Amino acid sequence: MRNKLVSANKLITGLFCLLMSISSWAQVRPVILVLGDSLSAEYGLPRGTGWVSLLEEQLSVEKSPWTVFNASISGETSSGGLSRLPTLLNQKKPGIVLIELGANDALRGLPVNQTEANLRKMIQMSKKSGTKVLLCGIQIPSNYGQAYTTQFKKLYPQIANQEHVELLPFFLEGVATRPELFQADRLHPNVAAQSIIFKNVWGSMAPYSNLLKKIP
């Protein structure tokens, strides 16, 4: 009887240690935080088909310890992203933040300097927390006015250069000029476009390739 109790205790102890090990692994896995709008929130797409899901799949293929938390919300503006970021940084403690915001600012005709201030604050806040940043550039059609369109296009490279963060020059490169890659609303990329967007993002994450292979 005594031997059985000892064996049972050993088994329980072993299971406890295993569970603690799994729990610790889950807690230490580094996080990539995606802070975006409908372009990153799988708007109008079947679940699991967006570029963020493709990023998760790629990390799994690479056997990377990193995980992805998608905090993107359809309709989100740079102001909304800025207001949510402190809580996300505190709760998720990401090692990398991907910022894909600004398109809805343009759709609403918000001043470019307001978008700039919000993006800059988000980057500075992320860097202060020890997080690396990838800023995803957004460009808008010329029908918004040549001056506004040009200002918006220059905005992202300027911020990335001044804040010393990585930049994806144009998030929708290879997609924006191809109508067949958009949903019926002609605003949101369809499923076929997601692999192109993913490749744009993944290519811009090259400077972090060594980091993604290990726990920082």
For residue 38, indicate whether it is catalytic.
yes
For residue 164, indicate whether it is catalytic.
no
171: nearest Cα among 83, 93, 99, 76:
99
Of these residues, 74, 79, 129, 188, which one is catalytic?
Answer: 188
DSSP letter for 180, please: G
For residue 37, indicate whether it is catalytic.
no
Of these residues, 38, 72, 78, 126, which one is catalytic?
Answer: 38
Element (H, E) at 36: strand 31-36
CA dihedral 112, 117, 119, 122 (to 10 degrees): -170
Element (H, E) at 97: strand 96-100
Which residues are known to be catalytic? 38, 185, 188
